Amino acid sequence: MSIIRPALYVVATPIGNLGDMSQRARDVLAGVDRVAAEDTRHSGRLLAHFGIATPLISLHEHNEARRTESLLARLEAGEAVALISDAGTPLISDPGFVLVRAARAAGYPVLAVPGPSALVAALSIAGLPTDRFVFEGFLPAKAAARAARLRALREEPRTLVFYESPRRVDATLAALAEVFGEAREMVLARELTKQHETVLDGDIRAVRAAWEADPGAQRGEVVLVVGGAPAAAETELDAESRRVLDLLRGELPLKQAAALAARITGAKKNALYQYGLAASGGEDEAD
Ligand code: SAM
């Protein structure tokens, strides 16, 4: 394996199953002068497992700007550097963007050593359309910001992919049901490639019920894949009418909200009411 000097190698590592480490990843990590890693203790164990003794240097979200300067100096001095993250592909909801951008701007070769990513792994098994998709990474942790982000995605026709922390899956499933309606198709992929790999599929209501029914399994890492919105022609209401209803639904019982939204937008009251019912999972909570 020839290592180009000076170059930055962006190397994917396993998302749970060490058998997914590629031979090229091993060769590159063994052959470069330095490996920049998010958590050097964690990555030290990975490298040790494969008998790789290359020195590690930390690069995480809090020191990336500073570290980029010193890594560029190493490239300038003729060294080859690899970038890895704790798991999967660097830069995919992981640090590395600042370094890659700076290395590229400075004219150094930036070379991919591709491999696992939870995003592609989840998408590849979800059984939802993959010809086009939208990767949203992590949703905001705060409820209001999370709901606002989801509302902005409600009309998105492409498959949506979210990363989620196990602590927030309950809240996110509730928010998905609230904003997209419980009938939307989705897949919850947990602990991919690991011993306790679990994949839940169905509509949002079914996935939520299955998740809540098994508290013991509510640990580990999760990717949520959500079907896109039905084509506009399939929905009776335009986006503006739905937006107005959604605003009013937050303040008023559904019947009143639908009546008022009908007067504001000119849309049919019953269509608005039915849409509101579907969005709340068939229950008119306020009545
Ligand atoms: N760079 C990584 C990649 O390429 O997949 C992602 C890093 S991000 C900080 C961590 C998130 O990825 C987790 O919260 C989870 O959403 C997802 N993830 C990572 N490993 C996973 C696995 N084995 N199964 C399911 N989701 C996983």
Domains 7-116 and 119-226 share a fold: no
Q: How far away, in angstroms, is 166 Cα from ligand 1 center?
A: 11
Q: How far away, in angstroms, is 191 Cα from ligand 1 center?
A: 9
Q: Is the pLDDT of residue 272 over 80?
A: yes
The fold adopted by the segment(s) 7-116 is: Cobalt-precorrin-4 Transmethylase; domain 1 (3.40.1010)
Q: Is the pLDDT of residue 287 over 50?
A: no
User: Ligand 1, residues 10, 11, 15, 85: which to mutate, most atoms within 8 A of Cβ?
Assistant: 15
Q: How far away, in angstroms, is 248 Cα from ligand 1 center?
A: 37
Q: Is the pLDDT of residue 232 over 70?
A: no
Looking at domain 119-226, its CATH superfamily turns out to be Tetrapyrrole methylase, C-terminal domain (3.30.950.10)
User: Ligand 1, residues 22, 173, 221: which to mutate, most atoms within 8 A of Cβ?
Assistant: 221
Q: Is the pLDDT of residue 212 over 60?
A: yes
What residues line ligand 1, using a CB cutoff of 6 Å? Answer: 15-16, 85, 87-89, 92-94, 117-119, 163-165, 189-194, 221-223
Confidence class for position 285, pLDDT limits 50, 70, 90? low
| The pLDDT value given to residue 233 | 43
Q: Is the pLDDT of residue 169 over 70?
A: yes
Long-range CB pairs of 1-5, under 8 A, 24+ apart, other chains included: 1/27, 1/28, 1/31, 3/28, 3/31, 3/32, 3/80, 4/80, 4/109, 4/111, 5/78, 5/79, 5/80
| The pLDDT value given to residue 278 | 75
Secondary structure of the chain as H, E, C letters: CCCCCCCEEEECECCCCHHHCCHHHHHHHHHCCEEEECCHHHHHHHHHHCCCCCCEEECCCCCHHHHHHHHHHHHHCCCCEEEECCCECCCCCCCCHHHHHHHHHCCCCEEEECCCCHHHHHHHHHCCCCCCEEEEEECCCCHHHHHHHHHHHCCCCCEEEEEECHHHHHHHHHHHHHHHCCCCEEEEEECCCCCCCEEEEEEHHHHHHHHHCCHHHCCCCEEEEECCCCCHHHCCCCHHHHHHHHHHHCCCCHHHHHHHHHHHHCCCHHHHHHHHHHHCCCCCCCC
| The pLDDT value given to residue 284 | 58
**102-147 tens-digit pLDDT:** 999 999 999 999 999 999 999 999 999 999 999 999 999 999 999 9
Confidence class for position 235, pLDDT limits 50, 70, 90? low
Region 67-96: what's the mean pLDDT? 98
| The pLDDT value given to residue 281 | 61
Question: What are the two backbone dihedrals, phi and then psi, of residue 259, each rounded to the nearest 5 degrees?
Answer: -65, -45
User: Ligand 1, residues 21, 219, 223: which to mutate, most atoms within 8 A of Cβ?
Assistant: 223
Domains of the chain by residue range: 7-116, 119-226, 232-279
Region 265-278: what's the mean pLDDT? 85
Q: How far away, in angstroms, is 163 Cα from ligand 1 center?
A: 7
Mean pLDDT for the chain overall: 93
Between CA 52 and CA 107 the distance in angstroms is 28
| The pLDDT value given to residue 282 | 58
Q: How far away, in angstroms, is 132 Cα from ligand 1 center?
A: 20
Cα–chain-centroid distance for residue 34?
A: 29
Q: Which atom of ligand 1 is nearest to the CA of 164?
A: 16
Under 8 Å between Cβ of 65 and 111: no
pTM of structure: 0.83
Which has the higher per-residue pLDDT, 280 or 85? 85
Handedness of CA 98, 101, 107, 111 (dihedral sign): positive
